């Protein structure tokens, strides 16, 4: 980077807010998806909105692409730096600015850790509902970028349901306020567009969240089945009975083994484990839980356990939430996928995954958010064996194609990022993607904000649809057409 620009950036954030030594930059060369790595020119750690604006203005003037980063726990490469770009880390903007219990609102800076929001309001029996498995380390800003979900979004909804207002630094450095503390502020729901846009529309610097009153009781049931088809049938019957559980999770035998090896949650050793959580008023939950128990047994559950204490409940969840990391116990390397299917397609998709696994000799462990059809197949491989990594990658993409063939999606909560952008044109038609790009052009005409992510084909704003013009990113070999 030009020394003059470097100095200017340093003068904005101070020497302690700038990372530029190669050793330190390594920390930022990837996010939770570690098989993609790019070294940024520099990492900037602003401490307030004004500094973010000043940095972005310099980037805009000098045409330097930038990538915003929260805790870097994302699993699709959304916070992967771009070549010749800078990373703007929001980690130091981590203050909870306002807690308004009577209106059930909390206003935070983007670097605040997800679980810390709940931590702050817990004494008053409130919680922040979106609970990605990484909630003890992931940031609200990252959650906003990815529209993070979690096990409980079946009942409570995703991040987008719980964000009411945003302060955003646009890619030209200007500041806008989208949404607000009250509902339905006049104008387009640009807040709804921004949430889940994976850092491609600007940088959120302040977030107004909705918090939820803790229900009177929470009950968690574990049911052991011979296989995932039986467990899946039980889920269908629970939904058909008109229940909306707080969470319904499923694990197959390989996932159970891994969880058991890692955190010993004392799961039954079975082919399909179902975890059903109901919450609400005691009388309601207890009556419905009897129905769930009966439905599970009717579908062949040979063991049904109700967690008796909070400690037992926490242990049950610990096993589930540790499932990804636990794969390290049974495989040297693994790929986490995030496809979604209509829940009714589960048996057909599962049998196809099993067939592909047998055909390729690559093991697949399965963890699902079964209530909403969000699959997390974990494709296990050993990088040291020649050809296995490639075979695992192509199997994981093939699984996403299966999800699309079943009418689903390539990502339920992890985002498209770098990893799945090549799959976007399989899910959406050219006009669909083109329309999204037009929205992007309204926010970021110069394509500076996380420019190489989400879309398979970069598009210059103002470019006429249909006319091919090579984007500078293509010419530079950073981006390619699929």
Partner 1 sequence: MLKTSSFEENLRAILGSQNLRIASASDAVSGVFPQFVAEPDDENQLAAALSMANEAGIAVVPRGGGTKLDWGNPPKKAELILSTARLNRIVEHAWADLTVTVEAGCILQSLQNTLAQHGQRLAFDTLWPERATIGGALSTNDSGALRLRFGALRDLIIGVTIALPDGTLASSGGKVVKNVAGYDLPKLVTGAFGTLGAITRAVFRLHPLPRAAKTFSFTAETFTAVQQHILAIQDSQLAHTALQIRCVAGDVPAADILFEATDAGLAAQESQLRKLLGSARVERSSENAWNARQGLWISTTNATMLAKISLLPTDIAKSLDSLKALGDTRKVNWRIVLQATGIGMLRLEAEPTQLVGAVEQLRTQLQSRDGALLILRRPQELLSLDAWGNAGDGVPLMRAVKGQLDPKNTLNPGRFVGSI
Residues 422-451 that bind partner 1 (CB under 8 A): 424, 427-429, 431-436, 438-443
Footprint of partner 1 on residues 391-420 (CB under 8 A)?
A: 407-416, 420
**Binding to partner 1 by residue 33, rule CB under 8 A?**
no
Q: Pick one of 24, 98, 216, 310: the residue that binds partner 1 (CB under 8 A).
A: 216
Footprint of partner 1 on residues 169-208 (CB under 8 A)?
A: 170, 175-178, 180-190, 192-193, 195-197
The count of residues interacting with partner 1 (CB under 8 A) is 91
Which residue's CB is nearer to partner 1, number 321 or number 440? Answer: 440
> Binding mask 126-165 vs partner 1 (x if CB under 8 A, - otherwise)?
--------------------xx-x---x---xx-xx----
**Binding to partner 1 by residue 310, rule CB under 8 A?**
no
Which residue's CB is nearer to partner 1, number 173 or number 215? Answer: 215
Which residue's CB is nearer to partner 1, number 45 or number 345? Answer: 345
Which tokens in the block code for residue 132?
């990605």
**Binding to partner 1 by residue 369, rule CB under 8 A?**
yes
Footprint of partner 1 on residues 226-265 (CB under 8 A)?
A: 236, 239-240, 242-244
- Under a CB-based contact definition with an 8 Å cutoff, are residues 393 and 420 in contact? no
Q: How far is the CB of 123 from partner 1 (least distance, A)?
A: 13
Q: Pick one of 30, 323, 380, 454: the residue that binds partner 1 (CB under 8 A).
A: 454
Q: How far is the CB of 68 from partner 1 (least distance, A)?
A: 17
Which residue's CB is nearer to partner 1, number 28 or number 368? Answer: 368
Beta bridge partners of 225: 272
CA distance 106 to 120: 9
> In terms of Cα–Cα distance, which of 396, 398, 411 is closest to 78?
411
């Amino acid at each position: 980077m030009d020394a003059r620009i470097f100095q200017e950036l340093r003068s904005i954030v101070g020497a302690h807010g700038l990372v530029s030594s190669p050793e330190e930059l390594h920390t930022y060369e990837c996010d939770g998806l570690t098989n993609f790595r790019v070294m940024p020119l520099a990492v900037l750690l602003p401490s307030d909105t004004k500094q973010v604006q000043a940095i972005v203005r310099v980037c805009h003037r000098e045409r330097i692409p930038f990538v915003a980063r929260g805790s870097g726990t994302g699993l699709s490469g959304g916070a992967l730096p771009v070549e010749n770009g800078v990373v703007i880390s929001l980690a130091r903007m981590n203050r909870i600015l306002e807690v308004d219990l009577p209106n059930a609102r909390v206003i935070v800076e983007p670097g605040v850790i997800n679980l810390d929001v709940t931590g702050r309001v817990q004494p008053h029996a409130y919680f922040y509902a979106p609970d990605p498995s990484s909630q003890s380390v992931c940031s609200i800003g990252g959650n906003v970028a990815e529209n993070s979900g979690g096990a409980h979004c079946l009942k409570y909804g995703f991040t987008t349901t719980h964000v009411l207002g945003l302060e955003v630094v646009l890619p030209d450095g200007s500041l806008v306020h989208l949404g607000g503390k009250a509902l339905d502020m006049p104008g387009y729901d640009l807040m709804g567009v921004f949430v889940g846009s994976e850092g491609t529309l600007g940088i959120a610097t302040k977030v107004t969240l909705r918090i939820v009153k803790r229900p009177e009781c929470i009950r968690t049931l574990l049911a052991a089945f011979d296989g995932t088809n039986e467990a899946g049938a039980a889920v269908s019957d629970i939904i058909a009975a008109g229940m909306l559980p707080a969470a319904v999770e499923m694990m197959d035998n390989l996932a159970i083994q891994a969880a058991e090896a890692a955190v010993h949650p004392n799961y039954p050793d079975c082919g399909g484990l179902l975890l059903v959580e109901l919450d609400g008023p005691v009388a309601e939950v207890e009556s419905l839980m009897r129905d769930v128990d009966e439905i599970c047994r009717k579908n062949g559950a040979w063991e049904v356990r109700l967690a008796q204490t909070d400690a037992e409940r926490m242990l049950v969840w610990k096993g589930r939430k540790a499932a990804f990391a636990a794969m390290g116990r049974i495989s040297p390397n693994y790929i986490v996928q995030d496809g979604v299917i209509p829940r009714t397609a589960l048996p057909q998709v599962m049998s196809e995954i099993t067939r592909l696994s047998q055909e390729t000799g690559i093991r697949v462990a399965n963890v699902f958010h079964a209530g909403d059809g969000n699959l997390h197949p974990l494709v296990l491989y050993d990088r040291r064996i020649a050809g296995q990594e490639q075979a695992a990658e192509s199997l994981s993409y093939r699984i996403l194609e299966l999800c699309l063939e079943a009418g689903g999606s390539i990502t339920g909560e992890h985002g498209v990022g770098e990893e799945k952008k090549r799959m976007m044109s399989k899910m959406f038609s050219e006009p669909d993607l083109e329309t999204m790009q037009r929205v992007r052009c309204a926010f970021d005409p110069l394509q500076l904000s996380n420019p190489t992510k989400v879309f398979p084909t970069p598009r210059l704003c103002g470019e006429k649809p249909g006319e091919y013009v090579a984007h500078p990113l293509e010419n530079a070999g950073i981006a390619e057409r699929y």
